[in-house]
Amino acid sequence: MKILGILGATGVGKSAVAVQVAKKLKCDVLSADSMQVYKDMNIGTAKITAAEMQGVTHHMLDVVTPDVNFSAQDYCDGALRSTDGCGTIVMAGGTGFYFDCLLYPLDFQQADTKALREKLNGIYAREGKEKLWEMLKEQDLQTYNTIDLNNIKRVVRALELALSGHRKSEGQGGIRKCAFEHKLYVLNADRQYLYDNADKRIDGMIQEGLVQEVRDLLAKYNCRRSTSMQAIGYKEILNYIDGNCTLNEAVQQLKLNTRHYIKRQLTYFKRMNAIWLDVLQYGTPETIAQVITQDFLASF
C-alpha cells in the first residue's frame, strides 16, 4: 500500500483537500485524528460530515465509544485492518504521532513496563502532574516540548519509554524501517491566520451546540474520567459544566489551549520528512489537491 499523507494544524483545511485528492486518485481516506476515532464526538472534533465526504470512503472515524481509552497501537491495528487490500490511501489528520506509528512501527510498543507505570501513577497521585512534567523534561526534552502535557496518560507513557531506555522521541522518524511507500504534505499558513481561523471555528462550535454535545456524552457514556474528555474542546466545556468557570472563560481557555496545540503540531511536523504547502498561496482545496496529486504520481 502507498500512503499519501496530508498533515496540518487544526483548522487549516486538511479534510477538504484529502477528499479532493482521494477523488482524483480514486481511493479512500484514512483519518489520522486521535479524537475523531470516538463516536458522537462530532462538534468539538470538527468531524467531517457525510455531505463533506462527497462519497469518498473514510476509515478510522467513529470506531470506539468515548468511555474507551484508545492508544496509538489500537489506532495502527485498526487502520491496518480497515485498509487491508487498498492499493493507495490518503492519510489525513493532525495527529503526527499516528503517522509515525503507522509508517515506522515502534519495536518497543509492547514493552512490559507495568511496574514502572504504577510507580509513575503513584507519583502523580502524591505530587501532581507538575512532578511528571519535571521528570519528562529531564528525561526527554524533545517529547516534553511537543506532547500535550495535560494528557497525563501520554505523559506517563512517554516517561515509561524514556525510563526504560526507549525515548519516545527516538521512536519517531527514519531510524526505523519504513513499513509503507509514502509521501507527506503539510498544509500550512501564516501563524496569525491559523489562530484567527481557530478562534472562528471555536465560536462556530459553541453556536452549533458543543456544550450540549458534552452533556449528552456524559449522560450516554459516563465518560467523565476517560481520555476522550481530556481532549481540547471537551475538557474546557466540562470545566464549565462542573461550575468551575463561566462559559466565556471556558471559551477563552479553549482558544488559548488551541493556539498552544497548533504550535505543538507545527513543531512536530517540522521533524517529519514532508513537503510544506502554503494554503493561502494556492487558494482552494481543489487547486491544492491538484498540486499534491501531480507531485505524488510523479514520485512513484
Q: What is the rounded distance in angstroms from the CA atom of residue 34 to the CA atom of residue 233?
A: 13
Q: How far apart are CA 71 and CA 77, in angstroms?
A: 10
| Architecture in CATH for domain 2-104+173-299 | 3-Layer(aba) Sandwich (3.40)
Spatial contact of 262 and 198, defined as CB atoms under 8 Å apart? yes
Radius of gyration of the chain (CA): 19
pLDDT at 173: 43
pTM of the model as a whole? 0.82
Domains of the chain: which residue ranges? 2-104+173-299, 114-171
- Judged by average pLDDT, the poorest of 104-108, 188-192, 250-254 is 104-108
Lowest mean pLDDT among 69-73, 110-114, 229-233, 239-243: 110-114
Q: Where are the alpha helices (DSSP H) in the chain?
A: 14-25, 50-53, 72-82, 96-103, 114-127, 129-139, 141-144, 152-163, 191-208, 210-221, 235-241, 247-269, 279-282, 285-299
Q: What is the mean pLDDT of the chain?
A: 91
The region of weakest confidence among 74-78, 110-114, 158-162, 229-233 is 110-114
| CATH of region 114-171 | 1.10.20
- What is residue 145's predicted lDDT score, i.e. its pLDDT? 81
Query: Which residue type occupies 222?
Result: N
Q: pLDDT, tens digit, for every residue of 26-52?
A: 999 999 999 999 999 999 999 999 999
